[in-house]
Structure 1
Amino acid sequence: MRKLLEPSLYYFSVVAQAGSLTSATEKLGLTVSALSRHIAKLEGDVGVPLFERHARGVILSHAGRLLLRHAQRTLSDAEAVYAEIQGEERRRARTITIACTEGFAFDFLPVSLGAFCQEYRDVAIQLEVVSSERASQMLLSGEAAMALAFSFKPEAGVTVQFTQLAPVMALMHDTHPLASKTKIALKDLGAFPVLLQDKGTTNRQLFDIACNVEDIEIVPMMTSRYVAALYRFALAVPESIMPSGYVSVAKRLGGDQMKAIPFDNPLLTQRRLQVLTLAGRSLDNLAQSVLDWVIGDLKDI
């Protein structure tokens, strides 16, 4: 902590506590003459003697006692700042930032990462829920260690650590009139309330393209950028249909009495989920453990 104090002030405090220049030199590794020069300079700066010299050593003057209290407060403040800095660095070292689209953040990642954190208690997760484009940008800028997103094509500058098909499926209650079908036609949706994600999502983009190709117009009952809001609406309206990615809701379907049925339009099978890292950048051991864990969970879905 001495580096955070002005040297002469630190030397003064050591002499004050040691009671003599000779005893203080043993701790400081200075000669008596060098230490005397520092004390003399400090006394010159404050304009009054800080010690009363005696044959056996030194004792503090009134001014010296005041300055020692200041030095002790300064040292205490420096120790607190140092501890805060070190604590922050330790937190930063074990914090893994993951960028993902909302589909992953709705259910899959909280469940997966929750289990990971139970086993690896020295990790802190910062989950940034952003668009697919922003997720890639966060990787390229170094703001995130990894990203999970849905995509149609590979991105420059990133490495795809894992990928699998992520078709848009028809999510509905298991008592829905269409729930017994093995595939859903887009034209079947016209008779039911449809819940659509925001136009900026890959889910919605594919859905709109497929409808245009089949010359079908779907007027949704509800649109939202939030998967969670749409899902809750789907639970509340048993006859509704929500075009959704399977991974987003896979771990909830059985308990919520919901089903995800494929569409028969091939365009809605073109989307892929990707787990991405920055090209040319090696992850540290902790981040690699998180990556392996998440990929393992995706393979199990």
Structure 2
Amino acid sequence: MRINYDLHDLQAFVAVAQRASFRQAAADLFLSQSALSRRIDKLEDSLGVKLFERTTRRVQLTNVGQTFLVNVRTALDGLEDAVLGVADLAAHRTGSVTLACVPSAVWHFLPDVLARFSERFPRIRVRVHDESAQDVLNLVLAGVADFGINFTGAENPEIEFEPIYVESYVLAMRSSHPLAGRKELSWKETMNERYISVATSSGNRTVIDAALAGVEKHPVILCEVNHVSGVLALVEAGMGVAAVPGLSVLPGRQDTIVGVPLVNPAIHRTLGLIAKRNHTMAPAARTLFDMLREALVKPQ
């Protein structure tokens, strides 16, 4: 069967069925009766069936027409729901946004912006993947996350990287440590400390090792864990000190852990908003991305 009808023909069919009158249906649709009759004829010819019994006194659905009416109404209702659903998404009334970011960004950058976003769009569900830098990059590349906050990705040709914050590395230690009151510390001054570190597979470890490549003497690492959160837990327990990004020394730990800037060499990393290049975000994701950009991007 060759399909030779369109949405207007189906709407004309429903109007005639509801009114049982070509004259009244034509008035409802702002059509002439002849134009309406042509649409019904076209639909019947395309389907190869008779949908209406027509006499000078009445218009009545055939048995086939009655079955077809049920199906058409279901299809039109579904189409209307789909159109309204797209309109809701475009108006940010429903939908979801998935964001991937390194853990320190969750604490420092997201709460205020997410609170404002949720207030404006209470029915938009936001999912946050707080993961390692490599996992954040992979989630964005795979399209699992709409965008991310990360300190890696600028070198990837598939990623657009927009800097938002330059972060310095500090020596994290218990607040009772003899060096806790210093304004800064050179790496040389810390060589006799018991160092705790993230594993060599960590992006943070890569940053530190690269910066210290030209330094004659390196700290002796006595304990390694996979994540900065684990490192800080051990520091908090008094097991040693650790070189970590400054943002990771969370405000909630100020009574037990302090971070003293490390110099000679000073080590920095740049956090940025990352998104897959040439990827069009859904409206809700783009709105949250723009809100974060507005709140976080500062001239460096």
Deviations 1:210-251 (A, max 9, x none): 376132352341232x3333333433x223212111123343
Tell me the residue number matched to 1:246: 246
Instruction: Confirm or deny that 1:78 pairs with 2:79.
Output: yes
| 85-94 or 205-214, which deviates more | 85-94
For 1:8 and 1:17, the matched residues in 2 are separated by 14
Tell me the residue number matched to 2:15: 14
Structure 2 unmatched ranges of 5 or more: 278-285
Note if contact 1:113-1:294 (Cα within 8 Å) is conserved in structure 2.
no
Note if contact 2:163-2:272 (Cα within 8 Å) is conserved in structure 1.
yes
Structure 1 45/94 Cα, relative in aligned 2: closer, same or farther at 3 Å? closer
Instruction: Confirm or deny that 1:261 pairs with 2:260.
Output: yes
Cα root mean square deviation, aligned: 4.5
For 2:238 and 2:111, the matched residues in 1 are separated by 26
The alpha carbon displacement at 1:17 in A equals 0.9
Q: Identity of paired residues, percent?
A: 19
For 1:18 and 1:272, the matched residues in 2 are separated by 71
Matches within 5 A, 1:1-301: 6-91=7-92, 100-105=101-106, 107-117=107-117, 120-121=120-121, 131=133, 147=149, 149=151, 163-164=165-166, 166-184=167-185, 185-186=187-188, 188=190, 190-196=192-198, 198-202=200-204, 204-207=206-209, 209-210=211-212, 213-224=215-226, 226-235=227-236, 237-254=237-254, 257-263=256-262, 265-267=263-265, 269-275=266-272, 287-295=289-297
The alpha carbon displacement at 1:191 in A equals 4.4
Equivalent position SS for 2:105? helix
Deviations 1:20-57 (A, max 9, x none): 11111223333322322332343345555322324344
Note if contact 1:196-1:243 (Cα within 8 Å) is conserved in structure 2.
no
Note if contact 1:203-1:245 (Cα within 8 Å) is conserved in structure 2.
no
User: Which has a greater percent of helix?
Assistant: 1
Equivalent position SS for 2:109? helix
Structure 1 227/195 Cα, relative in aligned 2: closer, same or farther at 3 Å? same
The alpha carbon displacement at 1:77 in A equals 1.8
Aligned pairs, how many? 282
TM-score (norm 1): 0.69
For 2:152 and 2:56, the matched residues in 1 are separated by 81
| 71-80 or 195-204, which deviates more | 195-204
The alpha carbon displacement at 1:90 in A equals 4.0
Structure 1 189/108 Cα, relative in aligned 2: closer, same or farther at 3 Å? farther
